[in-house]
Amino acid sequence: MANKALPQFLLGAGVVAALAAGFWLIGGPEAARMENRDQKRMSDLHSLQAHVTCLARTKGNTLPQVLDETRDCPAPQLTDRFTDAPYRYARLSDTAYEICAQFELSDRLHTSPRFDAESGCLHGTYTAD
């Protein structure tokens, strides 16, 4: 009887070990929620980049000093929808700027050369057409 229980026990232990390893690798449901929130923040930053372009085009082809809403350029989400913290915008030069957010798992974001995961900033440039 004991010989029949051993394979079932080993199979059960293997399943439990596989589940535990999976949660350890991907972080479980809370990590998935954090990644989802970060993806929405990144989407907001991309929308803000389009807003910067709109503002620059309507203000004499110069980058704005601040992100505001105008009749021609309605503002997208200006604050983090989960923390209400404002997204940070900085004009770095006449053609360069950055828009930043506080990410929860920035190292897991699909990055691009324009995104600095360490600072949470998306870098952009604007040149008049």
- Contact between 120 and 80 (Cβ < 8 Å): no
Reported confidence tier of residue 112, pLDDT bands at 50, 70, 90: confident
Reported confidence tier of residue 23, pLDDT bands at 50, 70, 90: low
Q: In whole angstroms, what is the distance from residue 99 CA to residue 124 CA?
A: 8
Q: Which two tokens stand for residue 100?
A: 């930043």
Beta bridge mates, 90: 98
Sign of the alpha-carbon dihedral angle for 35, 40, 41, 47: positive
**Mean pLDDT, the chain, as a whole number?**
86
Q: Is pLDDT above 80 for 14?
A: no
The more confident residue out of 128 and 95 is 95
Q: Would you state the pLDDT for residue 128? A: 83
pLDDT in tens, 43-92: 999 999 999 999 999 989 999 999 999 999 999 999 999 999 999 999 99
